[in-house]
Each structure stands twice: as structure tokens, then as C-alpha cells.
A and B are shown apart, each in its own frame.
Chain A
Amino acid sequence: MALPQSLRTSVTPLELELIASEHLIEIVPLITMEKTAFISGAYGPLRPPAKCRIPLWMATNLKLKKKCHIVPPEWLSVDFLQEQLTRETSRPEFSRLPFRFAEIAKVILDVASDDVQNADKIKSLLKDLREARQAKSRDGLQKLDHSELSLPNLCSMEINEIRPFFIQSMGILTQLVREPSAE
């Protein structure tokens, strides 16, 4: 691979988005389609106005062709995010959020911001959440020792962010600690 060293150690956010695209999401279809087999599984049938659960990649595709409305997940609402943000800022631990919330929220807000109520408000809330959580994960890294780092409820995008630094420093710490015990 011709990628520089810094990038080779972790996946890119785009790749994470791709992985998150397999996540199932609810849509209101605007077209009829029989149950159809894809490599990842069989989805459908689409029968408007009944809702249907299909993978995010398919929902994105249909949405871009104006063939469905995406029903935003429950956690992608102003009320929920506001509550999480207050919890995030008032308590030391990470609040519970879906593992791939950042990726899914980004995809949905990119392609279907018209289906989300208060999309702008949600965007700013997500940004605040991200900043609050980033600060926490930086703090958490200080607690790093040679054997473990426990950060419950850390999400995929955040793990990915600290991964390059984390792996290297963990390696160094392990070396530092091992020597005395070897003697």
C-alpha cells in the first residue's frame, strides 16, 4: 500500500462510513419493490406507505433517487441528543450512544436532511457532543498504562481517532514496563 505510515495504522473515516452503511435503518418507501436478494441479505418487500428496514447504503441510494423518505432513528432527535449532551458535560464517563452514531448521523444528515426535523440544531448538537467526548478521550489517554485502558461507551469513530497514538504509546509503555520484570 502506498499510503503514508500515519494513515496505514488506522482506517479512514470514509471506510468507517462504508462499514456503518450495513446498519439497518427504517424508511418510508415511495416505490413498490418485491423482496430482493442482495449479497448482504434479502430486503423488502417495499410496500408504500408501510415502513421497511433496509441497510443504510440502500436507503441512501433510494433517497438520492427520491424514492424513499428516511425515518431518522430515535436517537437522532433534538430531545435525545440534548439530554445526552447534558449528561456528557455533567458526568465523568461517556454517555451511551449507538456504536456507530457519528457515521450514521453524518450519512443521514448528508443525504436526507429534509427528513430530519431541526437538522441544523441536530448538527450543532452532534458537534458539541463530539467536542465533549474528544476532551474526555484525551483525558482518558492520560490514564493509559501498559496493560489496559478502560473507556466504556467509546464509539467507533473515537476509537479510530485515538488508535494511532494509542497503539504506539501502548507499545512503548509495554517495553518500559517489561524490562524491570525481565530482570
Chain B
Amino acid sequence: MASTSKAISNLAHQQGQTCIAFSRDGKIAYTGGLDTLVRIWHTNQGEDQEPEAAYEADEGITAVAAAEGCWLSGGHDSDVRKYLPGKAQFDGLVTSAAGASIRCLAVDPSGKRVAVASDELSVKIVDLDEITNVVVLEGGHKKRIRKTTWHPSGTILTTSSSDGTIVAWNISDTEAKVENVIDGVIPEVVDPESPEFMHDCSAVWHPSGQYFFAASRTHEIVAISRSTWTKTSSLSDPNIVGATTALVLSANGLYLASACKQEILVWSVQTKRVLWRHPGTPNAFTIQIAFSPTENLLAWTDTEGVLSRWRDAIPAGSPDPVRQTAASGAQGTTTKRKPTPPLWGEEPDADAEGVDQYGDDWIIDDLGDGMEDEPEGAKATRAGDGFVKEMVSITKAQPAFQPGSTPMENKKRYLAYNMVGAIDVTDQDTHHIVNVEFHDRSTRKGYHFTDHFKYDLGSLGERGALFACPPELDHPAHVIYKPYGTWSTQGDWTYVLPNGQRVLGLAAGGEKPMRSLRDPSSSGGDIQGQGNIVIATSSGDLTFLSGSGMERIVIGVEGEYVTMAAAEEYVLVVHRPGATTIDGSQSLVATLISFEDFQVLQEKPLPIPKGHTLRWIGTTEEGAPAIYDSAGYIHLMIHHRRPNRAAWARLMDTNLLERKQGKDESYWPVGLSQDTFMCLILKGRQEHPGFPRPLIQELPVRLPFRNQDPVDSLIEERIARERIHVNLARDALGDELTSPDIDKREVELDKQLIKLIQASCKADKAPRVIELVKRLHFTNSIAAASQLAGFYRLIGLQEKIEAIKLWRENNATPAEEAREGRRGFTYEDAPLVRPKPFQNFNPPPKVDRPGLARSTGIAEQTEFTASSVAIRAGRSRAPQASDSRSTSPEGKRKRGDNDDDLSSNAFDVETKRQAVGESDAVVPSPKPSAYIVIQSVRA
């Protein structure tokens, strides 16, 4: 576990209490000790440097701190001294504590004020520019104060007392007041001479300002929430026992360094595990640790008076301790990118407002608390401070997410929640419990297991559940697939990623099981395979695997991966090929890739309004891609089976829902079917569903049509919606003309249309009637419409309808036209390798004109006539032709194939019969002659 890089040490002070602080630019480290000296170390120099020293103190130094434009020291002589930056040049006294030892100095995030804790029962906040400007915080403590720290916003000061209490002071107003007293967390140490008194008991604030860490009396490191002031989680390791003697967070809050029993430990704040260790000085314990604010450098001082500097404490390959990196964002930590301040003065221009308006409620974070942006106050101070800056980030880029997952809240989260079921995870500190539940308990059986890898991504497919874990020190990232329907774990397989790569997203697709997966019969269960797996990795690719773990292909992703969802026969991948735009658009693109042959079926930008983000993607029950965004729109990809002809149809605007009016609620999508939007309803400002699992609510899907006619507009909307779904179903047909289901739905549609026609006839709107009549699907319906017109004595109209009917009878039906259209798409797509002009010696392409085609009679009696030869040949060709056209990717094609096979079998039978007939016809002719010969011989 020990890191490869070694620390360099210098003997700096005499034995006893020591302290350390980095300058604001990270170039200098100040250390103080009982020998009354403060030494000034240049961090870029090695072990052999001769540090400058400040000799002004009369007694031992107990605290040093660096502020803007000066550095400070304080000690047992009760004076706080100010020095020029980087030099040992005394610049004056700041304050004095009237004979009491100074215990701690804390400079606020802006570097202008210092909080001085001493053996007095009060804390002084001194303005460094104007040292007469002093605020005294009194009345919070009954025992001496040991440590004090600032909240990153500079409005809260936390003080730790020797009686074991932590007091949070609110100093945002001129009047400081006690906001909360936290008792029972830090240990109580009364004797200032005991070694325990030197242990670090400070509240170390996370840069997000949402929580702080403190070393507890139970030898854990606990995180305490800013909002509730209660413990939210703890860092502990079974191998580490003993008190934590020092504690510090890295500049970006990703890592936490602690000292325990002559060992320095670096923890990951996200996973709450020890990542690296480094041995400290033997027989001494470390009193203070510091992360360099600008470099990958960790330094500490101990009771032996030794200063140790550990360069590259965070090994290369892991997220940097200073910068906010994209990797840390993908991992689920906060990406605290702040919008750049307006360039011209205070006036916020319109665009900046537009970007800001969606605030922080869109971040899909995996860690739960502490993931919100910093308060406004901190932004300004930090940006001007030379700390972490983001150069260009005008629109926050939406991080990668799994549809249907939630962040960890109260130690529980959902990894996936869709129409198949839900995966929920319970955090047990050292391990997770993963619980997989299904909506349909007859087809699949729920289960749960103990997870030592802390899977943070999950996908619940039709054929199996997929999990992925992030890489940790002792194991690389891996993906595990657990197909359903097997009693044992034999079917499980693991796919391990190389070191340094991580999984960004997962999708498990597969055909919907027709019957129980546990069905042992040959036709049921797992004969349909175990589905298809897609893994998006941090190396910018999509890896396709088969359900049994066979690698099929690795496809590169253009730009950043955002999310994906798998359907039966394709995977819908959302990625960002370029960057976000200045005016607030996420510029996301959806790509549909088929599992069959990895064809890109569609590539279509997402219709998300500016300033909004993608919330959910998925597929409908019928298999069409759908998305939901933070603006509350549901879009459905229509014509997704037609190559490059898809469009995003706005299926629903949840802001217009009747139940939403006057209520503050939002919708968390789970699934979408033809007429219902399945979602969980979140009350108020709730962002994610909680536990226990709420019931799925069904909301009716309504196209956002704007006509408000009470009768007609309802029917029109229903017709238009039904039309979308009939078209989708028809696109799935392939070479078939129609299916009983579609026929039934079209009859229903015609009934609705007839209602509209009747209303229009009544209102005498002839043009509308004609338009509606043209939309009817069956000639019978047109006849009915004509009768209606007759009933209302609209003779002229009736004649026109009759004309339409006649025209319809003579021409191809809409169903046939649609089939022609489907054929056309495959034609258009096919000639990618077209020969050059004038070098094409092939016959001209066949133009299919069903209107001109000869009628294909089914006449048994014509089978043997000479005139039917052409027809027979044509019919036996037909199935082959249809096979060559079958590039349509959907699973329903199979039925079409079977039908074709049946029909070709039928033709085989016919040809066989024909052959028999022919042999009957041909063979007898020689026979009689043979007989004749024999007979003639006998004769």
C-alpha cells in the first residue's frame, strides 16, 4: 500500500510541539517549535537547504499561519507576531493574549482576518490591515480553546475546546453568534501538558463547505454536515487503530491526509478508504500535516521536531489533489466550475442570467451531501485567491450519468430503476449490500448480495443485471454481469479493465423474455441468449460484449460520453461531440447503434432547450428511444428505424399536466409506454426518490397541442398520438403489408376520424371533411363517411368523397405505400459502392412500381398453364428479394423470416408437385413405346 515516492526529512526544531503552515502560493513552508524559532523552508529546495529563522519569540512557538501579504506566528509568550512574506523580517505585533498561551491561528479564506485561539475562553478575530479592528467571540466555551478553523465561505468559524465541544460561530453579520454546539465528537483533554493535548482536534472543512471532518474520540474520522450539524459518515479502516493525531484535506477536497501511530495515511474522501500510506518518524507522533495549496506536496511535523516533505504524495494517474479534473467529475465528485464573473462591472447581462438560472439543481452527483456548489461568497474570494481556477467554463458540462440512478443519501441509493425492476444499494461502511428487485416476480427472481467492491454503476436489462466498480488500489475497475434465470452464480462473468481505466457507463440490452426465465423447457428460459452488453470506458470507447462475455467490438466515441440505454436491438448512446456552447446548450447528440452489425441507425442532436440538461433516457415499451430533460419535456424518436430519417417528437410537456397546476412537484421518469408515462412523483424540491421504494405513478401521455376545443382537439390529439405509434409499429413490419394488431388499431383510428368527420359535416366545413376523409385507412370507412355526408344532405361533398374512394380503390393503399417507402429506405442506403458513371455495365436498377405490377393471382388451375410460368418464376423470386432487403434491425424481423420460409416452403411443395406432374406427363411417353417394343417382340 505504501507509495513509491519517499519523503525527505529535515531536523527543524527541538523535541516537543511543532507546527507547520504553507504560504498562500505554496512556495514556502513555515515551521515553528518549542525552540522559539520559526524556520522558513523553500519547498522547491531539497534536504540540504539552510532555512532562514525568525528569532523574535521569547517562548516556544505553537502556531504559524500564512495570510495575504504576511505570515504570523504565536506561542507561549502570548504574542501574535506579523512578518513580511517569505522573510524572517518582523513587521509588528498583531495582538496579545494577556499572559495566556496562543493555541491556534487561523487565517480566513480571503487572507485578511486571523482568528486567534488562546488559553483565554474567547476567540479574537483580528483584521490584519487594521489591527485595532477586533471582534471577540465570547460565551461559547467553558474550557480553553485548542483549535479554530474557518468555513470556506468565511462566514462560519468553528472552535474546538478542551472540554470536547466544537462550537460553530456564525459571523456573517456584525454580531457574532453561536450557531451550534456539537458535543461528544472530539475527545476531552483537560491537561495542556499531556501528549493528547497536542493531537489535532480541529474541524477540517471540506472546500465545498457542506461538511467538515474531525477526529473523534472513538478513533474514527467523522464527517459532520453543515446543514444538520450531525454525523453523516465516517472514515475508518479495520487495520488502523489508535488516535488520529493530525488531519488535513487537499485543496480540492478529493483527499484527506491523517496521521495515526507514526504513519501518514491518505484517504479518498469519496470511497472513504485508505489509498496510500507513508511511515512517519519512529517514536514520534505527527502533530500537524499540511497539503500544499498549489502542488502535489504533503508536509508534516512531529514531536521529534522533524519536518518531512512528501513530494508526489498522490501518484501520477490518480486525480490531482489541487485541480478539479474531469476524471473526478466523472467519478461522481463535484465539479465546482464557477461561471466566469461578468466581464463588465456589476451588471449581469442577459446571457449570464440565462446560464445561472438552473443553479445547482441539475448536477447528478453520486456522493450525496457536499456536492452542491459553493455559496456565492466563497466563489469570489477563492477566485481572486490564486487557488483553483477554471479558465473557460461558460456552460457547465453535464457529467456522465446512468439513467435511473440516484446519489447516495442516508447511506442508500438506487443504481438503476427502470421498467424491469430496481437495484438499490445500502452502504455498510466497509461493504455494500446490493438488492435487486423486479416488478414482475413471476419472470425473474429478486436477490441480494454483499458487495466488497462498492459497485457504483448498475444496469438492469431484460436478460441480466450489470454492475461496475471503480478502480481501487488493490484491484482495477471491473464489470460483472449476472444473467437471470440461473440458480447458481455459474452464469456470472467478470470483465476486468486495465489499470488506469474506469467505467463511465453501462447498458445491458436484450430481448424481452416471452416466458419465465426459470422455465426449464427447451422453448423458454435462456434459449434467446443472455442479451448484449455495452460498456463505456474512460479511454473514450464503447465496448460491446455478448451476453456470455465475448468481446465483439470496440467503437470509439466522438467527444465525451454522457449516458446510454439499451433496447432489444440497439443501444442509444448520448455523447457530446464538441463542447457546450456559450449560450447554455449542452450540445448532446444521440446515436443509435444496432447490436446486430453495429450500424449507426441514427445520429441526432438532442432537442434540449438552452440552459437545460438531460435527465433520463430510455426506450418505450414498443422499443422507441425517448428522453426527458430538466425542462420537463418528453421527446420520442419517431421513424427511428428509417436510416437517418428520425425526428424527435415532443410527446409530452409535464409542465402542462393538470395535476401539476398549483403544486410544486417534479417527475422522475421510470418508463414510457404508448399511453402512459410511468414516473415517480417527487414533492417539492426533492431531487431523487428516496426509500422505501415509492409506487410508480401512471400519467396519461398528451401531445402538447395548443387547440383548446373541448371535443375535437381531444380526438385530434388522440389520433395524432395513435398515428405515431401505428407508424412505429408499421416500420417494424419489414416486408409485410400489415399485421392484425395494426389493422385493429387503424380501425379504431378510423372510428375516431369518422367522429370528427361527423362533427365537421354538422358544422358544414367541407375542406376539413375532405382532409379527414383522405386520412381514413380503409375504403369501408370512406364509404361510411360518404353516407354521413349524404345524411347531412351535403351532396357535393358526398360526390367528392366518392371520387376519393374511387381514386383510393384504383391506387395503392396507404399500407402498400408505406411498404414501398420501407423498401425505398433500404435501397437508398444500399448503393454506397456505386460504380463510376460510364463504367457501369450492369443492367439499370429495377424500379418497383406496384401500381404497374402484374396482378399475382392465386389460381390453382393456372399453375400448369404455359402463361403462368412467368408468374411462378416471379413468385419464387419474391422471397429471395425480400431477404436481401431485410436490413431492418429489429427483432420482429424474425417472424417475417419465418413467414417467408413458410411461403417458400409452400412454393417448394408446389414445385415438387409440379415435378411429379411433369414426370407423369413426360415418363409415359417413352413407356408406351417400350411396351410396344416388347409387345412387338412377343408378337
Binding site for B on A (CB under 8 A): 28-32, 47-51, 67, 69, 71
Tell me the B676-699 residues at the A interface (CB within 8 Å): 676, 678, 695-696, 698
User: In the complex, A48 Cα to B671 Cα: how many Å?
Assistant: 12
B696 contact from A30, A49, A67, Cβ within 8 A: A49
Q: Chain A interface secondary structure, helix, strand, loop or mixed?
A: loop
B678 contact from A31, A49, A71, Cβ within 8 A: A49
**Considering the complex of A and B, which 4 residue pairs feature the smallest CB-CB distances, nearest first?**
A49-B439, A48-B439, A31-B442, A48-B440
Contacts of B439 in A (CB 8 A): 28, 30, 48-49
User: In the complex, A50 Cα to B670 Cα: how many Å?
Assistant: 11
Q: Does B535 contact A (CB under 8 A)?
A: no
User: In the complex, A69 Cα to B442 Cα: how many Å?
Assistant: 14
Contact flag A28-B695 (CB < 8 Å), given A48-B440, A50-B678: yes
Contacts of B696 in A (CB 8 A): 28, 49
Q: How far is the CB of A174 from chain B (nearest CB, A)?
A: 50
Closest to B515 in A: A32
The answer to whether A30 and B698 touch across the interface, beta carbons within 8 angstroms, is no
Contacts of B438 in A (CB 8 A): 48
User: In the complex, A51 Cα to B670 Cα: how many Å?
Assistant: 14
Per-residue CB contact flags for chain B residues 431-475 toward chain A (1 = under 8 Å, else 0) read 000000011111100000000000000000000000000000000
User: In the complex, A32 Cα to B438 Cα: how many Å?
Assistant: 12
24 contacting pairs across A/B (C-beta < 8 A): A28-B695, A28-B696, A30-B439, A30-B440, A30-B442, A31-B440, A31-B442, A32-B440, A32-B442, A32-B443, A47-B440, A48-B439, A48-B440, A48-B441, A49-B439, A49-B670, A49-B671, A49-B678, A49-B696, A50-B676, A50-B678, A50-B698, A69-B695, A71-B695
Contact flag A31-B441 (CB < 8 Å), given A49-B419, A49-B678, A50-B673: yes
Contacts of A71 in B (CB 8 A): 695
Contacts of A50 in B (CB 8 A): 673, 676, 678, 698
Q: How far is the CB of B421 from chain A (nearest CB, A)?
A: 8
User: In the complex, A74 Cα to B698 Cα: how many Å?
Assistant: 15
User: In the complex, A29 Cα to B671 Cα: how many Å?
Assistant: 16
User: In the complex, A32 Cα to B621 Cα: how many Å?
Assistant: 15
Closest to A68 in B: B441
Contacts of A47 in B (CB 8 A): 440
Contacts of A48 in B (CB 8 A): 438-441
User: In the complex, A50 Cα to B677 Cα: how many Å?
Assistant: 10
User: In the complex, A32 Cα to B440 Cα: how many Å?
Assistant: 6
User: In the complex, A91 Cα to B701 Cα: how many Å?
Assistant: 41
Contacts of A29 in B (CB 8 A): 440
Closest to B419 in A: A49
User: In the complex, A29 Cα to B439 Cα: how many Å?
Assistant: 8
User: In the complex, A36 Cα to B460 Cα: how many Å?
Assistant: 29
Q: How far is the CB of B575 from chain A (nearest CB, A)?
A: 30
Q: How far is the CB of B302 from chain A (nearest CB, A)?
A: 58
User: In the complex, A29 Cα to B440 Cα: how many Å?
Assistant: 7
Binding site for A on B (CB under 8 A): 419, 438-443, 670-671, 673, 676, 678, 695-696, 698
User: In the complex, A85 Cα to B632 Cα: how many Å?
Assistant: 39
Most buried by B among A29, A32, A67: A32
Q: How far is the CB of A38 from chain B (nearest CB, A)?
A: 19
User: In the complex, A30 Cα to B695 Cα: how many Å?
Assistant: 13
Known: A50-B673, A50-B676. 15 other contacts (CB 8 A): A28-B695, A29-B440, A30-B439, A30-B440, A31-B440, A32-B440, A48-B441, A49-B419, A49-B440, A49-B670, A49-B696, A50-B698, A67-B442, A69-B695, A71-B695
Contacts of A30 in B (CB 8 A): 439-442
Q: How far is the CB of B578 from chain A (nearest CB, A)?
A: 38
Contacts of A51 in B (CB 8 A): 698
User: In the complex, A69 Cα to B676 Cα: how many Å?
Assistant: 19
Contacts of B419 in A (CB 8 A): 49
User: In the complex, A69 Cα to B695 Cα: how many Å?
Assistant: 10
Contacts of B440 in A (CB 8 A): 29-32, 47-49
User: In the complex, A32 Cα to B516 Cα: how many Å?
Assistant: 9
Contacts of B676 in A (CB 8 A): 50
Contacts of A31 in B (CB 8 A): 440-442
Q: How far is the CB of A49 from chain B (nearest CB, A)?
A: 4
User: In the complex, A29 Cα to B443 Cα: how many Å?
Assistant: 12
The answer to whether A67 and B698 touch across the interface, beta carbons within 8 angstroms, is no
User: In the complex, A28 Cα to B693 Cα: how many Å?
Assistant: 13
User: In the complex, A31 Cα to B518 Cα: how many Å?
Assistant: 14
User: In the complex, A132 Cα to B135 Cα: how many Å?
Assistant: 66
User: In the complex, A50 Cα to B696 Cα: how many Å?
Assistant: 8
Contacts of B671 in A (CB 8 A): 49
User: In the complex, A47 Cα to B698 Cα: how many Å?
Assistant: 13
Contacts of B698 in A (CB 8 A): 50-51
Closest to A69 in B: B695
User: In the complex, A49 Cα to B443 Cα: how many Å?
Assistant: 13
User: In the complex, A163 Cα to B419 Cα: how many Å?
Assistant: 50
Most buried by B among A28, A31, A47, A48: A48
User: In the complex, A62 Cα to B696 Cα: how many Å?
Assistant: 19
User: In the complex, A31 Cα to B698 Cα: how many Å?
Assistant: 18
Closest to A30 in B: B441
User: In the complex, A48 Cα to B442 Cα: how many Å?
Assistant: 10
Closest to B513 in A: A32
Closest to B676 in A: A50
Contacts of B678 in A (CB 8 A): 49-50
Q: How far is the CB of B423 from chain A (nearest CB, A)?
A: 15
User: In the complex, A30 Cα to B678 Cα: how many Å?
Assistant: 16
User: In the complex, A69 Cα to B693 Cα: how many Å?
Assistant: 13
User: In the complex, A48 Cα to B676 Cα: how many Å?
Assistant: 13
Contacts of A67 in B (CB 8 A): 441-442
Most buried by B among A30, A32, A49: A49
Q: How far is the CB of B511 from chain A (nearest CB, A)?
A: 15
User: In the complex, A47 Cα to B678 Cα: how many Å?
Assistant: 13
User: In the complex, A12 Cα to B398 Cα: how many Å?
Assistant: 64
User: In the complex, A51 Cα to B419 Cα: how many Å?
Assistant: 12
Contacts of B670 in A (CB 8 A): 49
User: In the complex, A31 Cα to B419 Cα: how many Å?
Assistant: 13
User: In the complex, A51 Cα to B698 Cα: how many Å?
Assistant: 8
Q: How far is the CB of A18 from chain B (nearest CB, A)?
A: 28
User: In the complex, A31 Cα to B671 Cα: how many Å?
Assistant: 18
User: In the complex, A39 Cα to B660 Cα: how many Å?
Assistant: 40
User: In the complex, A139 Cα to B541 Cα: how many Å?
Assistant: 79
User: In the complex, A49 Cα to B673 Cα: how many Å?
Assistant: 11
User: In the complex, A145 Cα to B440 Cα: how many Å?
Assistant: 58
Contacts of A49 in B (CB 8 A): 419, 439-440, 670-671, 678, 696
Closest to A49 in B: B439
User: In the complex, A30 Cα to B421 Cα: how many Å?
Assistant: 11
User: In the complex, A50 Cα to B440 Cα: how many Å?
Assistant: 10
Q: How far is the CB of A78 from chain B (nearest CB, A)?
A: 17
User: In the complex, A33 Cα to B695 Cα: how many Å?
Assistant: 20
Q: How far is the CB of B446 from chain A (nearest CB, A)?
A: 10
Closest to B698 in A: A51
User: In the complex, A67 Cα to B441 Cα: how many Å?
Assistant: 8
User: In the complex, A37 Cα to B622 Cα: how many Å?
Assistant: 25
User: In the complex, A32 Cα to B512 Cα: how many Å?
Assistant: 13
User: In the complex, A32 Cα to B673 Cα: how many Å?
Assistant: 16
User: In the complex, A67 Cα to B419 Cα: how many Å?
Assistant: 17
Closest to B670 in A: A49
User: In the complex, A9 Cα to B678 Cα: how many Å?
Assistant: 49
User: In the complex, A41 Cα to B438 Cα: how many Å?
Assistant: 29
Most buried by B among A30, A31, A50, A71: A50
Q: How far is the CB of B443 from chain A (nearest CB, A)?
A: 6
Closest to A26 in B: B698
User: In the complex, A105 Cα to B421 Cα: how many Å?
Assistant: 30
Closest to B437 in A: A30
User: In the complex, A28 Cα to B440 Cα: how many Å?
Assistant: 10
Contacts of A69 in B (CB 8 A): 695
Q: How far is the CB of B440 from chain A (nearest CB, A)?
A: 4
User: In the complex, A30 Cα to B441 Cα: how many Å?
Assistant: 5
User: In the complex, A161 Cα to B670 Cα: how many Å?
Assistant: 47
Closest to B516 in A: A32
Q: How far is the CB of B283 from chain A (nearest CB, A)?
A: 62
Closest to B422 in A: A49
